[in-house]
Amino acid sequence: MRKEVQRRIVSKDGHNKVRIDNVEGMVKLYLHDIWTTVVDMKWRYKLTLFASTFVMTWFIFGVFFYFIGMGNGDFDVEHNSTHVPCLMNVETLTGAFLFSLESQTTIGYGFRYISEECPLAIFTLVAQLVITGLAEIFVTGAFLAKLARPKKRAETIKFSKEAVICRHQGRRCLMVRVANMRKSLLIQCQLTGKLLRSYVTEEGEMTQIHQSSVDFCMDSSGECPFLILPLTFYHVIDERSPLAGLTADNLKTRDFELLITLNATMESTAATCQSRTSYVPQEVLWGYEFMPVLFCTTGGRYVADFNFFDKVQVCNDPALNVEKK
């Protein structure tokens, strides 16, 4: 029997899995916002762009200098003794390329240089330094911007592989566990959820993906928690919840995706980072609760043991256990 492929909009590691097709003028749109396009490039393309920017500008202006020398007659076999070349000691395209490289990188060996009798070569040199300087600033800036993106910090935020449904303070709740994998604090943490599912309006119109807000909170009176320890966020399943009507029997047959987003501010840079994950019905466990992950050593120190981060155990609520059966 062929296993049905589970469709997802967001992967477990937070990447968008929706493919965009048949967009007219896609290349033009990407070139219109060239900065974002370059910053979002994969590293292999960015490194290629970084290297090719230097090599291509060296070669292009080397060709310009070669044609300037050719137009001035510097490469003629026979010329009079009063002839002054535009580029001294440049007789081939390779020499022109080396002169362009030495000028742009400010090496300045002194063997190849521009004579005072060739204004066009002087103008080309000035244009090269201005144009390539701007290009290098752009590419280097995009390179550094990608290195400093908060996206990398978000990769050190860990979500539990599965969500659980159990009772918390007498109410039926859906719970997820979140942890910060670095010692540096994440402050002003806010966990939000979106329930993605198909929906039929009162007029009978079918909506393929309908988004409903799923509110998560903690036992901190709504205050923004410090994500210094693994924390468990919960959503109360009541009549106002988008998950109202969810039971142990229909959980596995329901078609939905729960998108979880954590927004936080990094203590070290004050930049905002965002981390995402999603849960499908097969990843929601009914009648289970998370096992303790925080322990105290004999020396009086707290230890977060991540061997227990994703582990669950059957809860003690008889009502939920009866529903599960």
> What does R_g of the chain's alpha carbons equal in angstroms?
31
Taking residues 227-256, report their average pLDDT. Answer: 86
For CA atoms 115, 119, 122, 124, the dihedral sign is: negative
Do 186 and 68 lie in one domain? The reply is no
Do 138 and 162 lie in one domain? The reply is no
| Residue 13 covered by a domain | no
Do 125 and 249 lie in one domain? The reply is no
Nearest to 247 by CA among 216, 210, 281: 281
Residues 6 or more apart in contact with residue 31 via CB below 8 angstroms: 37
| C-alpha to C-alpha distance for 40 and 149, rounded to whole angstroms | 10
Do 104 and 165 lie in one domain? The reply is no
Taking residues 250-256, report their average pLDDT. Answer: 85
Residues 6 or more apart in contact with residue 313 via CB below 8 angstroms: 288, 289, 290, 291
| 278-289 pLDDT, tens digit each | 999 999 999 899
Nearest to 310 by CA among 254, 236, 237, 232: 232
Do 33 and 135 lie in one domain? The reply is yes
pLDDT band for position 324 (cuts 50, 70, 90): low
Q: Which CATH number belongs to the domain containing residue 130 in this structure?
A: 1.10.287.70
The residue among 113, 147, 181 that closes a domain is 147
Do 211 and 78 lie in one domain? The reply is no
Do 70 and 160 lie in one domain? The reply is no
Which tokens in the block code for residue 69?
A: 């020398």
The pLDDT, as a whole number, for residue 198 is 81
| C-alpha to C-alpha distance for 92 and 163, rounded to whole angstroms | 69
| 123-175 pLDDT, tens digit each | 999 999 999 999 889 988 888 888 777 677 777 888 999 999 988 888 889 99
Burial of 303 (0-12, 13-18, 19+ CB in 10 A): exposed
Which tokens in the block code for residue 110?
A: 């002194």
SS3 126: helix
Do 106 and 206 lie in one domain? The reply is no
Q: Between 271 and 48, name the one with better pLDDT.
A: 48
Do 34 and 118 lie in one domain? The reply is yes
Domain range for 65 is 26-147
What's the total number of domains in the chain?
A: 2
Taking residues 4-26, report their average pLDDT. Answer: 77
The residue among 147, 181, 201 that closes a domain is 147
Do 191 and 281 lie in one domain? The reply is yes
The residue among 101, 126, 147 that closes a domain is 147
